[in-house]
Chain A
Amino acid sequence: MSFEFILFIFFSLIAAVSAVIMITRPNPVMSAIFLIINFFSIAGLYLILHAQFISIVQIIVYAGAIMVLFLFVLMLLNAKSEKDILSGKNKIKIFAVVIAGLVFAQIAYLIFFSSPGKALSPDVAASIKAGTVEQIGKELYTNYLLPFEAAGFLLLASTIGALVLAKKHFD
């Protein structure tokens, strides 16, 4: 058993367990905390796959910024417990189970039955290099410069939009 394999087992166990705990907590804030643990273990999985940039972004943006947003929304809505929201709504639960089953079936198909095979690059060294921050910076600022600048305008529009909708100034 290679060391990578042990790490893989370690991180994926944490990810799976924290995900289960997350969806079974009645208190939404607790769920959010376990979601952070989930994000961290997934960042570890990315690291094993040599996707360093994605791993760092997962921690900085998701576990950092997006989680802050999540927690603020929870406090904003002041949802005391899931029971108030979901009690007696069995249709939603059935729908959720069906959707989850579909997604699971699809991922299972992707992993076990489809043959991505040939098209994947056999050059492991190149694919390891592709995950580094440097390589992604190079791609981002040459080939993907235009989508990147467009993303700047997306951030501009969303900031102004948030201000228009939430700032007192406009009343």
Chain B
Amino acid sequence: MSKIVNPSVEYPANTWPLLFYGAAVLILAGIMVGLSYILGQRHEDKDTNTPFESGMKVTGSARLRFSVHFYLVAMFFVIFDLEAVFVVAWAIAFNELGWTGYIGVIIFIGVLTAVLVYEWRIGALDFGPNGKKILKAQKEFK
């Protein structure tokens, strides 16, 4: 700790808003949860803890096995999230980086745009039934 808490270095003053904001969020959330715990009514009936299913009895568990398609979406999210992180780092240092940085980020975005268009083209971003395909099939059927 002795190295970090060096008296010659002031703690950056601009971190205060963030800390204040964090504290405010914690306190506010604490008040909300705490007050509703203290003031809220409690009842313990037969169906209190069952999920709502329009008055029907619950059938089976909610833990269904998901399609692998959703996992793909999550992966694309990670990939483009990372891209965003890198681009933000470029944008903040924009003035000092000049054209070299610009070319660098253009190549990076270009590569990932090719991937995005490719995903789009092979239908990785399509959910549910494909409207165009159905219409086409209908026309052919007639």
Are chains A and B touching in the complex at the 8 Å CB cutoff? yes
Query: Shortest beta-carbon distance, A101 to chain B, in Å?
Result: 26
A-side interface size class: 35 or more
Is A124 engaged at the interface, CB distance under 8 Å to the other chain? yes
Q: Which residue of A lies closest to B68 (CB)?
A: A166
Distance between Cα atoms of A19 and B55 in the complex (Å): 39
Contact A2 B5 (CB under 8 A): yes
B8 touches A136 (CB 8 A): no
Q: Mark B57-72, 1 if CB is under 8 A from A, else 0.
A: 0000001111011111
- Interface pair A141/B115, CB less than 8 Å apart: no
A157's closest neighbor in chain B, by CB? Answer: B115
- The answer to whether A47 and B123 have CB atoms under 8 Å apart is no
Chain A to chain B: the 5 pairs with minimum beta-carbon distance, closest first: A137-B93, A137-B89, A141-B101, A65-B78, A65-B81
Residues of chain A whose beta carbon lies under 8 Å from any beta carbon of chain B:
2-5, 7-8, 47-50, 53, 56-57, 60-61, 64-66, 68-69, 72-73, 75-76, 78, 80, 120, 124-125, 128, 133-138, 140-142, 145, 148-149, 151-153, 155-156, 158-160, 162-163, 166-167, 169
